[in-house]
Structure 1
Amino acid sequence: MTALGFLHPGHSAEDDYPRIEQLLGSDIRLDVVHTETGEDVHRVEALRAMGTPQLLAPAVEELRLSGAEAVVWACTAGSFALGWEGARDQVRALARAAGTPASSTSFGFAHALREVGVRRVAVGATYPDDVAGLFADFLRAGGAEVVAVRGAGADVVTAAEVSAWGEAELFALARSADDPSAEALLLPDTDLHTAAHLPALEEELGKPVLTAAQVTVWEALRLADRRVNAPALGSLFAREPLVQV
C-alpha cells in the first residue's frame, strides 16, 4: 500500500480525491487533511498567507503520523503566489516538517507539462486577472510558453462558488480559455471539480487538459516513485513516464 498525503485548504472539491483514488484502481491510499484558509478570497497577500509553515503545521503532523510517503500542498495559488523561488522554499520547509518528499500543486503542473511533452499552454483560471498572471509567470519560470490566459477579470469568485460549478460551467471555462496554438490547457483552481470529466474535456478540445486535483495526485505518485496507468484520469495518466524522480 502506498499512502499519499494532501494538505487541502478548506472543504471545496475535496471529494475529487476519493473519486481519483477509485479510478487509480491500485493499492494507493489518498489521505486528505484540511488546513485553515482564513477569508475566502483570491487576493495575493491572503493566498501567500495560506501556506505559511505555522498554518500548515497541524495538518503536516497529522499526515506524518498517518505514514504518508509523500506530501503535497494541494493549493495552486497558495504556492505560485510566492513566485518560483518562494514556492521552492515553501516545499523544502514542508519536506523538513513532514519528514518525506514534498511538493505543491503548482510544481505538479510544471512537472506534468514535461510528462506530456508540451511547452505551449493556455490557462483557464477562476482567479482575478492579477492572480492568473502570477500563475502564468510561475509556468514561464518553469520553462513553459504561455500563449493565452483567461482570468475572471474583476469578478470575485470564491472557493465556495467555484466548487458548486457543474459540467456546463467547467466546459464553458475550458472552451473560452483554449487557444488554437496551445498544446495543452491548464485549469489550475483546486476548487474545481474536474476528476469526472477529464477524458471528455480532452476529447472536446483535442489536446491534453491538466487540472489541479489530477496533477496534485500525479505529483504525489511521482514523489513516491509510483507510475499508474489510469486513462480515465486523462492523458497525463496514460503515458510512459518522462519525468524521473
Structure 2
Amino acid sequence: MIGLLYPTRDCGEDDFLACARKLDPDLTVDFAYVPWGENIGRVDDLDPAEKHEAVRELGAPERLAAAARFGTTPDVVSWACSSCSFTRGLAGARDQASVLSERLGVPARSTSLAYLTALAHLGTKRVALASVYHHDTTASFVDFLAEAGIWTVHSVSADAPSDRALSTWGRRRITELANAADHEDAEAVLIPETALHTTPLLEDLETALGKPVLTATAVTLWDALHALGAPPVRRGLGKLFSR
C-alpha cells in the first residue's frame, strides 16, 4: 500500500487513483491530510508572499509527522505536494522524508524528491518547467533543481490562485501550459502540481512535445514504487513508465 500525505482534500486524489489503477488494479493508495495553518484562511485570498510562507509552514516536518496517520501502516509514504516539499530546499525535502520515515518506520519520499529520482532514471539534466505557481515560487523550484544538478532552460509561471482552482483545470489549459513551457534545449518538461488531473494526458502530451513530460502525480507514484524496489513498467503512461 502507498500512503500519500496530501494538502487539500478533494482536489487531485481521483487522479492519483486513476494512475494507480493503470499501474496495477490491485494497488492500494490511502490518503492522510495535512492541515493548513490555523491563521491561513482562504489560500485564494493570500498574496504571493503569504502563499509562499503558507506552503513553507504546511511542509514543516513536525506538521507532516503529526498528520501521518493511516488506518493501516503503508509500505511506503510520500508527501504528495510539490511546492510544500521544494520551498524548503533540497536539505529541507530530505528532512521531511527522514522525519516521516522515522515516524512510520517505512521508506518515505516526496513529490519534489520524486522528480529528482525520475530525472536521474531518465538521465535528464536539462528541463523546461511548466509551473502553475507565482514566479517567485517557480524560482524556488528552479533553485531546488539546481541544487541537484538539474538545469532549467526555460520556465513559465501561471500564477494560479490555489490548488482548489487548479483541480478544475481541463485538458486545454494544461496542454497550453506545457506547450508554452517547452524549449528546444529541454530534454523533458516538468508539470509540478499534484492538484492537476494529468493522467489522461500523459501519452498525448509526450507525443505532441516529442519528449518526456513528468507530471507530479505520475512521478510521485512511480517514485514510491521505485523506493520499494519495484518501479512499474506500463504502456500508455509515458516514457518514465516504459523503461
| TM-score in same-fold range (> 0.5) | yes
Alignment of 1:7-156 (within 5 A): 7-11=5-9, 12-25=11-24, 27-38=26-37, 39=40, 40=43, 43-62=51-70, 65-152=71-158, 155-156=159-160
Report how far residue 88 of structure 1 moved.
1.1
Contact persistence 1:195–1:214 (CA under 8 A): yes
1:197 to 201, 223, 229: 201
Letter in 2 for 1:229: V
Contact persistence 1:76–1:190 (CA under 8 A): yes
CA–CA distance in 1 between the matches of 2:161 and 2:7?
A: 16
Contact persistence 2:5–2:31 (CA under 8 A): yes
Identity %: 39
Partner of 1:236: 240
CA–CA distance in 2 between the matches of 1:204 and 1:127?
A: 23
Contact persistence 1:4–1:70 (CA under 8 A): yes
Contact persistence 1:126–1:157 (CA under 8 A): no
Q: Cα 1:67–1:120, aligned 2, differ >3 Å: closer, same or farther?
A: same
CA–CA distance in 2 between the matches of 1:53 and 1:148?
A: 31
Aligned length: 233
Aligned partner of residue 13 in structure 2, secondary structure: coil
Q: What's the CA shift string for 1:43-101, capped at 9, x where partnerless?
A: 22111111223432343122xx5131110000111010001111111111111111111
Letter in 1 for 2:34: T
Report how far residue 156 of structure 1 moved.
4.8
Contact persistence 1:133–1:149 (CA under 8 A): no
CA–CA distance in 2 between the matches of 1:74 and 1:125?
A: 16
Moved over 4 A (4+): none
* Unaligned stretches of 5+ residues in structure 2: none
Report how far residue 127 of structure 1 moved.
0.3
Report how far residue 16 of structure 1 moved.
0.7
CA–CA distance in 1 between the matches of 2:36 and 2:199?
A: 23
Letter in 2 for 1:8: Y
Contact persistence 1:81–1:131 (CA under 8 A): yes
Contact persistence 2:21–2:27 (CA under 8 A): no
Report how far residue 25 of structure 1 moved.
2.6
TM-score, normalised to structure 2, is 0.91
Aligned partner of residue 61 in structure 1, secondary structure: coil
* Of 35-44 and 133-142, the range deviating more from structure 2: 35-44
Contact persistence 1:47–1:81 (CA under 8 A): yes
TM-score, normalised to structure 1, is 0.90
1:210 to 209, 214, 217: 214
Give the CA RMSD over aligned residues.
1.5
Aligned partner of residue 211 in structure 2, secondary structure: coil
Aligned partner of residue 232 in structure 1, secondary structure: coil
Report how far residue 32 of structure 1 moved.
2.0
Q: What's the CA shift string for 1:124-155, capped at 9, x where partnerless?
A: 11100000010011111111111011113xx4
Q: Cα 1:156–1:232, aligned 2, differ >3 Å: closer, same or farther?
A: closer
Letter in 1 for 2:141: F
CA–CA distance in 2 between the matches of 1:49 and 1:96?
A: 20
CA–CA distance in 2 between the matches of 1:142 and 1:66?
A: 34
Contact persistence 2:206–2:213 (CA under 8 A): yes
* Of 44-53 and 115-124, the range deviating more from structure 2: 44-53
